[in-house]
Structure 1
């Protein structure tokens, strides 16, 4: 059950990053984030969307792993 919860959380965070890739381009993050400091705004948005896709993929694997375990497939 724990993998399912972690997977769902990762999918939710990834979806947020896909919808709002500039969510951290304000406040204290502007001074502390290395990615914000070194990437242009366009490249930072590409980076965040890519990170969102990776998080969704990892979350989907965790959810599917838990479902396979629940159904007795492994």
Structure 2
């Protein structure tokens, strides 16, 4: 279903259409994608690995400071 009318950039609405309640929420169809459980688990695992490596790097850095201090 296509909207008829002229789009008004300032009010971010079409002629005769009410303004969106929350205009800052504007998502394109491509951005709204339901991820599968497997994808979500993989993303969580990647984040966990990244946090672990950052923590390890910080621990090593602090140990070096303490050793040289």
Q: Select the structure with the greater relative contact order (CA < 8 A; seq sep ≥ 6).
A: 1
- If you compute each CA radius of gyration, which structure gives the higher value, 1 or 2? 2
Going by fraction, where is helix more abundant, 1 or 2?
1
TM-score, normalised to structure 2, is: 0.49
TM-score, normalised to structure 1, is: 0.46
